[in-house]
Amino acid sequence: MGGKFEAKLSDARIFSQIVDAISALIDEGNYYFSPDGLSFRAMDPSHVAMVDLELNKAFFEDYVCEEDFVLGVNFDELSKITSRAGAGDALTLETSEEEGGRLRIKLMGKATRIFTLPILSLESEELPRLEIDFNVKTSLDSDLLKQALKDAGIAGEYVEIIAEDNTLKIESRGERQSAQISLEKDGEGVHEYNVSESSKSMYAIDMLSKMIKAASLSDVVTVEFSSDMPMKFSFGLPGQGKLTYFLAPRIEK
The mean pLDDT values, 10 residues at a time, for the chain of 253 residues are: 80 96 94 94 94 96 92 94 95 77 92 94 78 96 96 95 96 94 96 97 96 94 97 95 96 69
By C-alpha distance, which of 129, 132, 144, 148 is closest to 50?
Answer: 129
Cα separation, 68 vs 34, in Å, equals 4
Cα separation, 166 vs 230, in Å, equals 22
Q: Do 195 and 165 touch, CB atoms closer than 8 A?
A: yes
In tens, the pLDDT along 155-201 reads 999 999 999 999 999 999 998 999 999 999 999 999 999 999 999 99
Work out the angle between the directed axes of helices 75-82 and 12-23 (0-180°, nearest 10).
150
Helix or strand or coil: residue 59? helix
Cα separation, 161 vs 169, in Å, equals 6
Q: How far apart are the first and last CA of the chain?
A: 47
Q: Do 170 and 161 touch, CB atoms closer than 8 A?
A: yes
Q: Cα Rg for the chain, rounded, in angstroms?
A: 20
| Structural domains of the chain, ranges and CATH numbers in brackets | 5-118 (3.70.10.10), 136-229 (3.70.10.10)
Helix or strand or coil: residue 70? strand
